[in-house]
A and B are shown apart, each in its own frame.
Chain A
């Protein structure tokens, strides 16, 4: 089966890039990974994503696709006969998955990131409380979507698993930075167990960055003000 020429512009540390890579792995698509250097943007990136100038960019037979969740959906559709379906088969389940994927990006991630950018202890405490509240919503979403199965998507990982699960490396880094558990086994037991399963999935495991390496990178990206 001919998959065409596939390139992915990205970075090892990016959550959004990981989404695309997991999807490509699920479909067993071979691709050339073009690692961007932190602090610079390659000519190819600027040419392929002139609007946002951001990674990831999937280039399939010289045609660029941008925005991680859109890339994942594209991968599912372009290679629909390869591997498992990434999006659920029923329109209502797809709508629910898309709703929660948007929630992860627009609400949950924003709260997580604000822990790293918090100016002082008060701000940090408030950000932590917000993440806990929003993670609680995701626990309920998991119970609703999984319907007793191991993943949001059912028997195997799918769109929403990828959307949230790609954050697990950074989730751990932010926990360490905040010195506060943010994925609590007692408060959100279903999500906690799902996280372990997700990280051990063979299409995910090789892509999950090492916590120490990611933490070091985080310190560069989010420098702490000098005391």
Chain B
């Protein structure tokens, strides 16, 4: 019996990008459904499938929902284990990968959000912290081609969505990612060579347009 896989998503979401990349890496056929107005008019299916958080992305596999992007990426890796495994087999290496994914989620994403929802001194502090966090990640990457080593994997999938948002961060933070984190930028370009990533990340110009729209919405021009 063929798998039925549906993904409810919203195109600029870094979280949604993780899941589309994961599905594409595994070569899974899925139906992509855009939540056109995810802020003001969530679809009935979204509310039914994610009643707790009412957020995208939602992965629906044979009618059963899986919510939270990092949980989805792990799930996808476990359901389709043969092709392009995301996590190493060794328990210690796996724990390290999960640690950095958690760091990105708890620190980088949270700080990133502050950049779009604050102004003045608070914004300056958020921008500064954001760069510090990226430098910690860059240090962890070191000279490896990917976070996991030679192969594109879990941590790369969790972080790469930010790459199409970097130009927006640069523009509104008034700094250059290339000067601040050149190794991380090189890593991003390397990941973009993969079809799964290139097909999942929107044009950075489109993201900038979205940010302008958000700033207007929240009165943060």
Residue of B nearest to A94 (CB): B78
- A70 with B74: CB separation less than 8 A: no
Kindly specify which of B3-11, B12-20, B89-97, B121-129 makes contact with the partner chain.
B89-97
Q: Which residues of chain B (45-82) have a CB below 8 Å from chain A? A: 52, 61, 64, 66-68, 70-72, 74-75, 78-79
| Residue of A51, A73, A91, A102 touching B95 (CB-CB under 8 A) | A73
A212 interface residue (CB < 8 Å to B): no
| Residue of A66, A71, A74, A95 touching B71 (CB-CB under 8 A) | A95
- Interface magnitude class on chain B: 20 to 34
Main secondary structure of the interface of B (DSSP, over half): helix
**Given A70-B98, A70-B102, A102-B71, A92 contacting B91 (CB threshold 8 A):** no
Q: What CA separation (Å) do A94 and B94 show in the bound complex? A: 16
- B74 with A74: CB separation less than 8 A: no
- B71 with A98: CB separation less than 8 A: yes
Q: Say how far A70's CB is from chain B's closest CB, in angstroms.
A: 5
- A92 with B71: CB separation less than 8 A: no
| Chain A window 81-93, contacts with chain B (Cβ cutoff 8 Å), 1 for yes, 0 for no | 0000000000110
Q: Say how far A72's CB is from chain B's closest CB, in angstroms.
A: 10
In the A-B complex, list the 4 residue pairs whose CB atoms are closest, starting with the nearest: A77-B91, A91-B78, A95-B75, A74-B95
Interface residues of B (CB under 8 A from A): 52, 61, 64, 66-68, 70-72, 74-75, 78-79, 91-92, 94-95, 98-99, 102-103, 136
Interchain Cβ contacts under 8 Å between A and B, 9 examples: A63-B92, A65-B99, A70-B95, A71-B95, A95-B66, A95-B74, A98-B71, A102-B71, A103-B52
